[in-house]
């Protein structure tokens, strides 16, 4: 059947072509006409190797300021370059709410890439879990085996 297709005496049905295209991760147009899949990109666009990206979930939002109830529901996904992910771990995104971290360059609605970890260094900006069910985004100060949050005034 493949040899008949190559000779031009047979053309597979559309559903079979789509299955073949999906298997090889190309377009049906590429199978039929031999055109590279990236030829349909807008002028000036650069083809990207998908293997360089990781699909990471957006789990909701975190308040910059007063803690809020911590709830994690996958709202969407965002692709992120693997090189951006320093180290190993579980990554997710949250949207920032509030403006208390504006002096650290974090504005209302920013998409924050978060790595889950059990501890932070002093002066790190981190999402802190309070009382088991509330979270906030703050700069953490460690002193005398205790954790403190830097207030807006001390970030200036």
Asked if 35 contacts 29 with a C-beta cutoff of 8 angstroms, the reply is: yes
User: Band of the pLDDT at 153, cuts 50, 70, 90?
Assistant: very low
Could you give the domains of the chain?
Answer: 2-40 (no CATH), 50-155 (2.10.109.10)
User: What phi and psi values does residue 85 have, to the nearest 5 degrees?
Assistant: -90, 95
20 CA to centre of own chain: 29
- Greater model confidence, 134 or 1: 134
Task: Please confirm, yes or no, whether 100 is among the known catalytic residues.
Answer: yes
Per residue in 108-122, is it b (16+ CB within 10 Å) or e — as a string?
eeeebebeeeeeeee
63 CA to centre of own chain: 19
- Residue 5's nearest CA partner among 16, 24, 19 is 16
Q: Which of 61, 96, 97, 100 is an active site residue? A: 100
CA dihedral of 101, 107, 108, 111, whole degrees rounded to 10:
-110
Asked whether the whole model's pTM tops 0.75, one would answer no
Give residue-wise pLDDT tens across range 85-122: 776 778 888 888 888 888 888 888 899 888 888 778 88
Task: Please confirm, yes or no, whether 138 is among the known catalytic residues.
Answer: yes
For 89, the 3-state DSSP assignment is: coil
Q: Which of 61, 138, 143, 153 is an active site residue? A: 138
CB atoms within 10 A of CB 48: 12
pLDDT score recorded for residue 37:
54
Please compute, for residue 73, the number of CA atoms within 13 A of its CA located in the half-sphere on the CB side. Answer: 3
């Amino acid at each position: 059947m493949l040899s008949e297709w190559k000779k031009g005496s047979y053309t597979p049905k559309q559903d079979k072509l789509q299955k073949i295209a999906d298997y090889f991760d190309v377009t049906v147009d590429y199978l039929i006409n031999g055109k590279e899949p990236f030829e349909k990109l807008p002028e000036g666009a650069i083809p990207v190797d998908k293997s360089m990206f990781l699909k990471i979930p957006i789990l909701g939002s975190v308040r910059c300021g007063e803690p809020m109830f911590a709830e994690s529901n996958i709202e969407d996904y965002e692709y992120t370059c693997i090189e951006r992910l320093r180290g190993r771990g579980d990554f997710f995104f949250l949207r920032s709410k509030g403006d208390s971290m504006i002096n650290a360059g974090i504005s209302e609605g920013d998409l924050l890439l978060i790595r889950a970890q059990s501890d932070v260094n002093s002066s790190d900006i981190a999402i802190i879990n309070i009382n088991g069910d509330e979270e906030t985004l703050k700069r953490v100060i460690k002193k005398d085996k205790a954790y403190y949050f830097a207030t807006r005034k001390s970030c200036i």
